Structure 1
């Protein structure tokens, strides 16, 4: 205990405040999530309806769901979600009941006119309008609300500086600067959020690296003007998997292997070079200057991923373990390209056996 704080960074109670009652909720032993349900619920900034946050089983990102459970037969199949062991999965899991993602119902977004969901969406819109008229809710000012805007509320950043981290092919945007990201675990002494930072300069985890700014996928990437520009990211590729897991779980070194639950979900969101243009850093940050870590003894024997070949097909992210020539296609895209070429060739050659259809 030093500087008026406990070992986990929580403030010491001086005795003037009432003793805080610790929560009686606890995580089930089969749960794959560290977040208690009471801490995974908040209200949408755009419609004020409550949302429950769950981690997706596939992308490991967080998805807000409606609190209600609906009969699967009344909801289109593509809107079906189910929760199992703390994670959210596609489909109803054969239970006959399903959950619905909040972005599919949020009144602040534009939705396709679907008869099956028209009444439910209308109910949500009317409720939001009543809250606004009664003065109970002031919506966040924004011209257009997209699905990404709703999902990225998990961060709720209160700072203009947000740094980007990279690990293998993943790129994540943090809720603040690297040295200001706080642990999300619950402090045992106060039952509140731990105040320790995730970054520890003594461990030498991560270095500032200049990388090429990623291009957006699809046709949007062809219209960008930043081709060849460099940006600064906090590189975590030197970490072992369990060390990277501590960063993704947003926990300090004291709670890295602790069974303490989270008071809120981790605040990392996938970095999008187009949407998060305001957080791209062009000058080397001065924050989080960690000491240099000793290189791994096998580093020189393993070919880095950056030098490996990448499929040239649009929208494909498959790579090769070796360098490839320009225009190389992966094992998935090459058969497709050959089939398209044969089809194109057949249409180009005139048929000699059949008369033309005119």
Structure 2
């Protein structure tokens, strides 16, 4: 008896076998935020609960609670809404709004007075945190007190000058990683610093107050200066892309850029008054 097998392109009953077409995720070129939805969710390092990261109007990220809450239950200063992937610090007139995770995080002190429904949600997150710790699925991250760095070597949080602005980096210059999505839908592992391309230079600049701030004592700080590079290179650093993903069209982001607008008061503990390894810099210029 010979088995009657159906062709590879059909099911057992002879119906055609159709495979769904895999369409890559794309972001519109007119979108103000090029961050994919897959790159916005992560876990809070203090409580282990899920958070959604969104860029604000000033470009800095904010962690929001993943679920919407009734606007009447959320204090007015804690109401946020999303528009085209950008978080705005007020409600949009609807009955539902988003709330910062810092308000509900059980490991933090609430930044505002919260209502009973928010207290209940805060207790639920605390129970979930305890369950994650007991099962070994989460270990709280300890934030040690940082002191002003001394000695030679690249600063852990350097100040970078590009596009006529000063930015505070979330890691060493050599460790700033590309945020673009690869063909395998993963984050690009390449650094932004191209070893074969033009590099910046370390220099000492005065710490001056911004508009409307009090004057600070005269002192200088070490800055990784990119202002002498071409505008395209500075823009590539600003969007935190490697040389292979320098053109943003066609590839989306899987993470937010880690730059923060430098504030001499908020980032005073990370300022460095000496140049890191000046001999290596001099040899590279030659």
Structure-1-length-normalised TM-score = 0.59
- Shift in Å at residue 83 of structure 1? 1.1
Contact in 2 for aligned 1:207/1:234 (Cα 8 Å) = yes
CA distance in structure 2 between the aligned counterparts of 1:192 and 1:252, rounded to whole angstroms:
14
Q: Is 1:281 aligned to 2:282, yes or no?
A: no
Deviations along 1:210-256, whole A, 9 cap, x unmatched?
0124569999x89x9xx333221012334566543321210123322
Q: How many residues are paired up?
A: 251
Q: Which moved more, 1:244-253 or 1:197-206?
A: 197-206
Contact in 2 for aligned 1:55/1:61 (Cα 8 Å) = yes
Q: State the match for 1:130 in structure 2.
A: 131
CA distance in structure 1 between the aligned counterparts of 2:102 and 2:75, rounded to whole angstroms:
15
Q: 1:246 aligns with which of 213, 230, 236?
A: 236
Q: What are the within-5 Å matches in structure 2 for residues 85-124 of structure 1?
A: 85-111=84-110, 112-116=112-116, 117-124=118-125
Q: State the match for 1:52 in structure 2.
A: 52
Q: State the match for 1:78 in structure 2.
A: 77
Contact in 1 for aligned 2:198/2:229 (Cα 8 Å) = no
CA distance in structure 1 between the aligned counterparts of 2:54 and 2:24, rounded to whole angstroms:
21
Q: Which moved more, 1:121-130 or 1:282-291?
A: 282-291
Deviations along 1:246-280, whole A, 9 cap, x unmatched?
21210123322232112222122344556655643
Q: State the match for 2:67 in structure 1.
A: 68
Question: CA 1:230 to 1:119, structure 2 compared with 1: closer, same or farther past 3 Å?
Answer: same
Question: CA 1:171 to 1:71, structure 2 compared with 1: closer, same or farther past 3 Å?
Answer: same
Gaps of 5+ in 2: 1-21, 146-153
Q: 1:266 aligns with which of 254, 257, 266?
A: 257
- Shift in Å at residue 202 of structure 1? 6.2
Q: State the match for 2:3 in structure 1.
A: none
Deviations along 1:104-129, whole A, 9 cap, x unmatched?
21111112543353222222223223
Give the root-mean-square deviation of aligned CA atoms.
3.5
Q: Is 1:212 aligned to 2:234, yes or no?
A: no
- Shift in Å at residue 201 of structure 1? 6.3
Contact in 2 for aligned 1:201/1:291 (Cα 8 Å) = no
Contact in 2 for aligned 1:164/1:171 (Cα 8 Å) = yes
Gaps of 5+ in 1: 1-21, 145-158, 293-358
CA distance in structure 2 between the aligned counterparts of 1:82 and 1:99, rounded to whole angstroms:
6
Contact in 2 for aligned 1:205/1:238 (Cα 8 Å) = no
Question: CA 1:50 to 1:214, structure 2 compared with 1: closer, same or farther past 3 Å?
Answer: farther
Question: CA 1:236 to 1:143, structure 2 compared with 1: closer, same or farther past 3 Å?
Answer: closer
Question: CA 1:271 to 1:23, structure 2 compared with 1: closer, same or farther past 3 Å?
Answer: farther
Q: Tell me which of the two structures has the higher relative contact order, counting C-alpha pairs closer than 8 angstroms and 6 or more residues apart.
A: 2
Runs of 4+ aligned structure 1 residues displaced above 6 Å come to 215-219, 287-290
Q: Is 1:183 aligned to 2:178, yes or no?
A: yes
CA distance in structure 1 between the aligned counterparts of 2:144 and 2:245, rounded to whole angstroms:
41
Structure-2-length-normalised TM-score = 0.72
- Shift in Å at residue 103 of structure 1? 1.3
- Shift in Å at residue 52 of structure 1? 0.8
Contact in 1 for aligned 2:240/2:257 (Cα 8 Å) = yes
Question: CA 1:79 to 1:234, structure 2 compared with 1: closer, same or farther past 3 Å?
Answer: same
Q: Which moved more, 1:257-266 or 1:240-249?
A: 240-249
